[in-house]
Structures are given as C-alpha cells and as structure tokens.
Amino acid sequence: MEYKALNTIAYDHLRQMIYNCEFEFGKIYSETKLATELSVSRTPMRDALNRLAQERYIDILPNRGFALHSPTQADIDEAYHIRLMIETYCAENVAAEYPGSRSADTVRRMEEALQQQHRLLENDGEYSIGQFWQDDLLFHKSLLEHLSILSLIQQYESIMYIFMPHHLIRLSGFREKDAQVFGRHRSTLTEHAEIIRALKSGDRGAVRSAVRLHIDSSLQALLSSREQA
C-alpha cells in the first residue's frame, strides 16, 4: 500500500474538492472545520492550504480562513503564454514521431479522454462540469507525459486550473448559464478532434495552428465570461 503523509492526503482531497466545484467563489472557508471533517490536525491542513495557495488555487485570509483564488488578468496572461509554449512544443514532438509507438500511445490516450468528454455531453444524467474538466486535463497532460516532463505536470495543472470551466460560471449558478457552458464544451470537442487530426498528419504547421486555435478560443471564452459577470 502506498504511504501518503497527512498533509499530502489533505492536499489531494482539497484539490479534488476544488476540481469538483465543491467550493464557491466569494465564500470564506474555515481551516479548523475542514481539518475536523478530514480527521487531520491543523498542522497538515495548514501545510496543504499553503501549498494550494502557492499554486494559486486559493487565497489564505489571515485569522479568517481561505477562499478560492479568482484569477487576475496577470494570472490569465501568464497561464496563456505558458500553455501555448509548452503544448505547442510537446505536440510538435508527438507529430514528428507519429505513428511511432510512443506517439501512437499518446494520441490514443488523448482520443480516450475526448471520447469520455463526448459521453458526458451526450448523457445529461452523467454530466459533471468537474469531470469534464478532469478529462480535459488528461487530454492536455498526455502531451507533457509523452516527453516525460514530470516535474512540470503538477505546476501545469495549476496553470490549467485558471482555464477551468467553472470560471465561466463563477458568479452564478451552473443551470443559469448551462447553454453557454455546453456551447463552449461542444467547441472544445471540435477543437480537440482537430488537434488529434493534426498530430496524426505529422504536419507541424497544422499542429501549431490547431493548438493555438484551441488555447485562443479558451482564452476568449474566459475573458468574455469575466466581462459578463
């Protein structure tokens, strides 16, 4: 059995709660209450929260608790450029090696993530905005894993979080804007499929264009939602 320190267990649990949209923007949460709920002492809980704050998932409010971090324009600009550089570089490498076995395996994992996203949108009963995002994260992380850039993956997840779909609905209930969110998700499926086609073609120019189109579209959707909020 894999051993995990209590602070790591707390960190993993809290991050999963964030991914599942169990925290609300603008609400302050109690460190002590969560520590009790997770059956851990305040020390590992505080370590977990400090780590989440460093990765910009949350903001720690002294003597009050913590709240979800609402991305600033600087956060978004930084995340955009980092994503563009990393994903383009990794995708070009996958395309250059395709249909070699490693590249074929990477593309297969991306296709599986895309198929799962299709299933979620086609079955309302199974739809979860958090699950859709996690499948989206698997799609993009496959590119980094292809080059075994393991040291970047944890940091990359926090960068991707800034583009997490729940930012589209951060100031109102999901059902109030489900048409907007579903519309963006359907566009995501089309853009993901185009990235896969470009990878299989081996055309680096097509790969760069497909990756940039997808990241640009994600950026515009996020900026538009911030203006409407």
Contact predicate 91/143, CB 8 Å = yes
pLDDT of 21: 80
Q: Is the peptide bond before 99 cis (omega within 30 degrees of 0)?
A: yes
Contact predicate 161/134, CB 8 Å = no
127-182 tens-digit pLDDT: 777 788 889 999 999 999 999 877 788 789 889 988 876 665 554 454 544 677 77
pLDDT of 20: 81
**Does the predicted TM-score (pTM) go above 0.95?**
no
**Alpha helix positions (H), the chain:** 6-19, 31-38, 42-54, 73-97, 101-122, 129-146, 150-161, 178-201, 204-228
The DSSP annotation for 36-101 comes to HHHT--HHHHHHHHHHHHHTTSEEEETTTEEEE----HHHHHHHHHHHHHHHHHHHHHHHHHTTSH
With 0-12 / 13-18 / 19 or more C-beta atoms within 10 angstroms meaning exposed / middle / buried, residue 187 is middle
Q: What percent of the chain has pLDDT over 90?
A: 61
Nearest to 190 by CA among 210, 176, 168: 210
Task: For residue 32, give the amino acid letter.
Answer: T
85-134 tens-digit pLDDT: 999 999 999 999 999 999 999 999 999 999 999 998 888 666 777 788 88
β-partners of residue 148 are none
